[in-house]
Chains A and B, each alone.
Chain A
Amino acid sequence: MNQTAKFYTIALAAIPNSGKTTLFNRLTGASQATGNWPGVSIEQKSGNFALGEYNITLIDLPGAYSLSPVTEEERIVRNYFLQSPPDIILNILDARNLYRGLGLTLQMALSGLPMAVAVNMIDEARRQGISFDLKVLSQHLGVPVIELSARTGEGIPDLKQDLYEVIKHPEKTRSPHISCPPLLEKAFIEITEAINQSGIDTRLDHTFLAMRLLEEDEQEQLINNDKVATLVQQWYRRLKQSLKTSVPVACANCRFNAARGLAMEVLHDQPVFEDQLTKQLDCILLHRFFGLPIFFLLMFLLFQGVYGLGAPLQELFSTGFEIAGNWLAGLALSLSWPIWLQSFLFDGLWQGISVVTSFFPIIALFFLFMSLIEDSGYMARAAFLMDRLMHWLGLDGKAFITILLGYGCNVPAIMGTRILTSSYSRILTMLLIPFTLCTARLQIFVFLTALFFSPLIAPWIILSLYVCSFGAVIIIGLILKLFRIGGSPEPFIMEIPPYRLPTLHSIGLRTWYELKDFFFRAATLIVAGVLIVWLLIHMPADVPPGSAATWAGQLGHMLEPVFYPLGIDWQETVALIFGFIAKEIVVGGLAVIYGGSDLAGQMSSHITPLQSISFMLFCLLYTPCIATIATIWSESRSIKITLLSLVSGLGIAWITSFVFYQSGLLFGFH
């Protein structure tokens, strides 16, 4: 480590459910930046804070159980450690259960990098009557150990003090000893020797490197030294034969034997694992008969909380924007700006910005409630309850909640896929959500069914559309599962954490960051999309907007052969182009296109009921809106996935409408 540098990188590494995010928030406060790890849809967070005269960048690594990767997240952590080791490691242990995390802690302590261990949730451990001697732990690991509670802030100054000391005195730490079967020990010694001789330049301890190499299937990628690689492979084969288990499992066994001994030494009394409150709550919330009804009740409340409160707020926002827009437009008019500029500014740009901001209330409420469910520990229970059903689609139980919330609005639902544990289910869910019947689509359906069907039949049509949407999600889920889009599924082993009271601080911070994130990642794309559609509808400049002579009208005419078999005329095709901006404006778009005062009368004389259903089916299945596509892109950071979503939506919509309309004609409806 460079002694004179004032900038240091600390990597925050811990197993899942150890309060990593809370500690990260506690240390970095409001100075966070989010991005993605290169090439994957996994979030990378970093933040800054000061330690005396040092500037610290804290990197929040994804939760990992070990440096021998099983999941995509763990692969990221492994690669990070081997390829660009941080200056200092900050590891977290859960005070309520040291054993769980010690496997990883031991691995990291062996790395030879300066390190500090935070024993988190000390307040809750105390309440459970757990007490321990952290000096023993510190001596064993050879690194400072600090007890703290990230939730209450207790012990944070001590942690900062210790981290400061670690930077000031970065002497090489003494590595803990882990006893292994003799053959494994011999393998480590020989490989370490080979690494010593190879002259590889690394800050990592050579024995640690030897262990890492031996536990890997893909050693070649980690070290470009043929001699070492060959030796590792020889040992790998030899060990595999004589150990009777795989090498990583054998190594895990050694680590956890040490961890068990260490945990026992550190704890004063017999450990108390049971949290009575959790036990009692689970008896009710996971009850054989009451568990599911309670779950559905909570989901109903969640849905109502997000959208029941969100919709009026959204209304308020858009009314505000409309009033402000009208006022500004009046100003522009009085200054006699060119008509096209006025239209561009207020029908295009202003409209785009208003679309972006209209998402703010629901995204805020969505993450407020989502964090509540997640931080309290209920999310894991929900996943447990719904697992059987979702497993059938190749997803885990948590995906149910995000898909369900898609029925309100797709945008926050897609952002919510971040709660899913594997990138596999994240991508699958992201591709499924656009087929949910969101409230904006519902507006079109309510308008059209009221127009074309008697009040007796109309609700049934809407119900059928909901059934269609469920069906589409299931069928497309099965197809995606079949074609293995999104990689191979990860094993479903989900920890069920004890219930905890979420803090306002962490919920507020999370919501704030999600909003900021949405604004910076998706907003430009949404505005750009709205502007493109504006161009289509308003160009060339000398014709009435939305009319047959505009680019959109011409496009509608051009696409006539494509949409004719669906019973969709060019006017509705243009409305579908409007629908790319947002489904809310489709009905308004139709009014512009038909250009008359009596939209209902014009439409009902122009379109047959069969055609209207075909149109609604198309609306249900094709791309929900630009904002959804922008969010899929910003969440997946993959052009492939974004295009797939776009193309699959349009393709499936076309096929469904085609089959429906043509068979309707065959059966003599019109």
Chain B
Amino acid sequence: MTTIQHMPISALQAQCECIIRSLGSDNKTAQRLAQMGILPGTHLHIIRVAPLGGTIEVSGNQGQNFALRQQEIAAMTCEPVAMPLTSELVIVGQTYRIRTLMGGKTFCQRMERSGMEEKERLQIQRTSTKLISVYLVDLNRQVELGGGEAKKIIIEVISNEPNR
């Protein structure tokens, strides 16, 4: 199950990825994006947020790198496809798949020991500011993650799969 929505600005963080469903109201921004080949169906991957915030660098799936303001993406309707585990877009109880682990070598090894590997499916059971508990569907295992760890785990939405 996926949701098509206006992405809240606070969810537009680095490593978040979404598919544009509609460019939103017919303004200059929408026109400009369309003329650059950023059209409905384009995957947008947020590379980074500017140090002062407000502006983000994104890349489209045809290799266009560009900067724009968060509010301009928020005005479009987008379907989130990947996000950090800590993102507010994550829905408790839904099944996701781990896409990448963003940390260093030791971090990856530690995660792998607890079964958090790429392609592994998981469900978020409970989130709090400090501890996030996830349930690894295939291993039938419960894992507690710190907020700092969870931030480095990028998960992707699984579509058309039974929500177990």
A509 on interface, CB distance cutoff 8 Å = no
- Cross-chain contact B65 with A496 (CB below 8 angstroms): yes
Given A100-B62, A496-B65, A70 and B31 touching (CB < 8 A)?
Answer: yes
B32 neighbours in A (Cβ, 8 Å): 65, 70-71, 491, 493
Nearest A residue to B65 via CB reads: A496
Per the bound structure, the CA–CA distance linking A494 and B53 in Å amounts to 16
Whether the Cβ atoms of A248 and B69 lie closer than 8 Å is no
Q: Which of B27, B40, B64 contacts A253 (CB 8 A)?
A: B40
The answer to whether B67 and A383 have CB atoms under 8 Å apart is yes
CB distance from A343 to the nearest CB of B (A): 55
B33 in the interface, Cβ–Cβ < 8 Å? yes
Q: Which of B44-52, B130-138, B146-154 lies at the interface? A: B44-52
Judged by a CB distance under 8 angstroms, whether A222 is at the interface is: no
Query: Is A19 at the interface (CB under 8 A from chain B)?
Result: no
Q: Who on chain A is nearest to B59 by CB? A: A273
Within 8 A of A (CB), among B23-78: 23, 26-37, 39-40, 47-55, 57, 59, 62-69, 72
Q: Which of A229-278 contact B (CB under 8 A)?
A: 245-246, 248-249, 252-253, 256, 259-260, 263, 271, 273
Q: Is the CB of A66 within 8 A of B35?
A: yes
Is the pair B36, A100 in contact by a Cβ cutoff of 8 Å? yes
Contacts A271-B63, A492-B68, A493-B32: A385 and B51 contacting too (C-beta < 8 A)? yes
Size category of the A interface is 35 or more
Contacts of B33 in A (CB 8 A): 493
**Contact present for B28 and A388 (CB under 8 Å):** no
- One of A193-201, A283-291, A312-320 contacting the partner: A283-291
Contact status B37-A252, CB under 8 Å: yes
In the complex, A246 Cα to B34 Cα: how many Å? 10
> By CB atoms of chain B within 10 A, which of A103, A287, A491 has the most?
A491
A227 within 8 A of B: no
A226 CB-CB contact with B under 8 Å: no
- The number of chain B residues touching the other chain, given as a range, is 35 or more
Let me know if A131 is at the binding interface, CB within 8 A: no
Q: Is the CB of A384 within 8 A of B57?
A: yes
Partner of A249, one of B34, B52, B66: B34
| Alpha-carbon gap, A282 to B67, bound state (A) | 13
Would you call A387 and B69 a contact (CB within 8 A)? yes
- Please indicate the chain B residues that have their CB under 8 angstroms from the CB of A492 in the complex: 55, 67-69, 72
Select one of A259, A289, A491, A496 contacting B57, CB under 8 A: A496
**Closest beta carbon of chain A to B55's beta carbon, Å:** 4
With A68-B35, A103-B35, A252-B34 as given contacts, are A97 and B54 in contact (CB-CB < 8 Å)? Answer: no
Q: Report how far A287 CA is from B65 CA in the complex, Å.
A: 17
A476 to B66, CA, bound (A): 30
A286 to B125, CA, bound (A): 35
Residues of A440-491 at the interface with B, using a CB-CB cut-off of 8 Å, are 490-491
* Alpha-carbon gap, A74 to B37, bound state (A): 16
Residues of A within 8 A of B27 (CB): 491
- A249 B57 Cβ-Cβ under 8 A: no
Partner of B66, one of A253, A263, A496: A496
A260 to B34, CA, bound (A): 14
Candidates B29, B37, B51; contact of A99 at CB < 8 Å: B37
Q: Which of A99, A386, A494 contacts B63 (CB 8 A)?
A: A99
CB-CB < 8 A to A68: which residues of B? 31, 35
User: Is B51 touching A100 in the complex (CB atoms < 8 A)?
Assistant: no
Tell whether A543 is near chain B: CB-to-CB under 8 Å. Answer: no
Q: Which B residues touch A383, using CB under 8 A?
A: 67
Q: A273 — which chain B residues lie within 8 A by C-beta?
A: 59, 62-63
Closest partner residue, chain A, to B37 (CB atom): A256
Distance of A391 Cα from B70 Cα, bound (Å): 12
Q: Are A387 and B51 in contact (CB under 8 A)?
A: no
Question: Is the Cβ of A249 less than 8 Å from the Cβ of B53?
Answer: no
- The residue that A385 contacts in the complex, of B22, B31, B50, B68, with Cβ under 8 A, is B50
Q: Determine the chain A residues whose CB is within 8 A of the CB of B35 once the complex forms.
A: 65-66, 68, 70, 74, 103, 248, 252
Interface of A toward B, CB cutoff 8 Å: 65-66, 68, 70-71, 74, 96-97, 99-100, 103, 245-246, 248-249, 252-253, 256, 259-260, 263, 271, 273, 282, 286-289, 291-292, 380, 383-389, 391, 397, 490-497
Contact surface of B with A, Cβ cutoff 8 Å: 22-23, 26-37, 39-40, 47-55, 57, 59, 62-69, 72
Name 26 interchain pairs, CB-CB below 8 A, sorted by A: A65-B32, A65-B35, A70-B28, A70-B31, A74-B35, A96-B63, A100-B62, A100-B64, A103-B35, A246-B31, A249-B31, A252-B35, A282-B47, A288-B51, A383-B67, A384-B50, A385-B50, A385-B51, A385-B52, A387-B69, A389-B52, A490-B28, A491-B28, A491-B29, A492-B69, A494-B66
